[in-house]
Amino acid sequence: MKDLNLRTRRQFVRESSTALAATSVAANLALPNISSAKPVAGKIRIGLIGCGGRGTGATVQALKADSNVELWAMGDVFPEAIERSVNVVRTEFQKDPVRVQVDKGRQFVGLDAYQKVLGSEIDLVLIATPGGFRPYHLRAAVEAGKHIFCEKPMAVDPAGIRIAMEAVKVAKQKKLALRAGFNMRFEPAYREAMKRIRDGAIGDIRAIYSTRMSNRLARFSGERKPGEGDLEWQLRNWHYFSWLSGDLILEITVHSIDKMAWAMNDVPPVRCVATGARHQQTLGDIWDQFDVTYEYGNGVVAVLKTRYMSGCFNEHKDLIIGTKGQCQLGWSAAQITGENRWRYQGEKVSSHQVEHDELYADLRQGIIPNDGDRMVSSTMMGIMGRMSAYTGRDLTWEQALKSKLTTMPNNLSWDMKLPVAPVAEPGKTRLI
């Protein structure tokens, strides 16, 4: 299987034309889309596509969420990833081994492993592959009629986001659950804070300031082993390549962007302008620093500062500034200052676990949640910011969404020549 069933650039731009009519998605994003169906009874078989750390964690959380869920199939491009993942899951459920039914015959390896997982009689799929693949895997899962948990980001370029938008539309028509991996929306402290903001605790929002700054990320060595082809090397070190990760602004900082979007009722910004640079990174084509300013139609300005560099000041917070006070979000913490002072003092639980708990509880009741609209909107905000930074240009939401930029290589194969993309240079890199 050479091409992962990826359609040509012309085809998916043309096929997505109907999705472009949804550029004014703002009107329907404030509340999650929910439909109803017959309650799901009995055993729920799940399959995992992408067996890295996040996929493994999501699998454990899914199994913990409902006692009648079992792991049925797994797929990854590398066999050792599956072996590590299944060992972790089996260890976690060693007292209840029947929960892990993924025998060797349903451990699929290769570029087409996702198709085999989807064809293996599962009811729900967990998509945790690198972001560049997610729109294609999301589309395939919807076409296969599976309920879905999809990690963030849901795409890394405008072409991919339009594929994701169309998949969301069809998922609604088919009444397929679609849970987004934006787990911060399930953090109890943040939920209570956002509820209070909606109730007027800080007045009208005037500005947002969000930071995600930490040490340099070096999860992969970048070492290239003898005989390793271009594609294999890049897949084994996928964080460092924008076509796979979308750069760190999408792979990690998109959680902060999603909280911005949440505060703004998921109404997209009308314009953004961004800067950034590559300082300590030496592998691939990604940067390690971005500053993005999003401008909204009601005059609100949201500023994002993100940096992954060692030896620097670190900070991770979200400050939502209103006419009557401010709300600050931190690690599992939230407080409001001003006229209506408040601090979250409730329980601290894993938001990763809550998002799965609620998904399976909904399915058991015949509730079909679909986070699709807001997940593609938040992802698009990250793409928009990176595009502005890479090119040195300001751009509108409409420009970004209609962009013909696509970063997914055509006809993936293990023996293909895949040179590393040049590092973006603002002022020289074209806005496509």
Question: Which band of pLDDT confidence, cut at 50, 70 and 90, is reported for residue 402?
Answer: very high
The domains found in the chain, sorted by start residue, are 9-184+355-372 (3.40.50.720), 187-347+379-402 (3.30.360.10)
Please determine, for residue 246, whether its predicted confidence score (pLDDT) is greater than 60.
yes
**What is the mean pLDDT of the segment spanning 45-57?**
97
Give the DSSP letter string of 343-399.
E--S----HHHHHHHHHHHHHHTTEEEE-HHHHHHHHHHHHHHHHHHHHT--EEHHH
Q: Can you say how many angstroms the Cα of residue 310 is from the centroid of all Cα atoms in its chain?
A: 25
Q: Tell the burial category of 104 from Cβ atoms under 10 Å away from its Cβ (0-12, 13-18, 19+).
A: exposed
The conformational region for residue 50 under phi > 0 = left, psi -120 to 50 = alpha, else beta, is left
Question: Is there a contact between 58 and 179 (Cβ–Cβ < 8 Å)?
Answer: no
Residue with tokens 């890394």: 156
Residue 303 pLDDT: 98
Mean pLDDT computed over 39-62: 96
Distances in whole angstroms, Cα of residue 210 to Cα of each of 19, 306, 330: 30, 8, 10
- The confidence score (pLDDT) of residue 339 equals 97
What integer pLDDT is reported at residue 4 of this predicted model? 52
Mean pLDDT of the residues in the chain: 92
- CA triplet 294, 390, 313: central angle to 5 degrees? 70
H or E element at residue 250: helix 248-251
Q: Check pLDDT > 90 for residue 110.
A: yes
pLDDT at 217: 84
Binned at pLDDT 50, 70 and 90, residue 32 comes out as low
For 364, the token pair is 């058991």
**Which tokens sit at 365?**
């009741």
Looking at the DSSP assignment, which residues form a beta bridge with residue 289?
277, 307
Rounded average pLDDT over 248-270 = 98
- Percent of the chain exceeding pLDDT 70 equals 93
**pLDDT above 70 (res 6):** no
How much of the chain exceeds pLDDT 90, in percent? 88
pLDDT higher than 60, residue 17: no
Which is nearest to 179 in space by CA: 141, 140, 153, 150?
A: 150
Tens digit of pLDDT for each residue in 144-182? 999 999 999 999 999 999 999 999 999 999 999 999 999
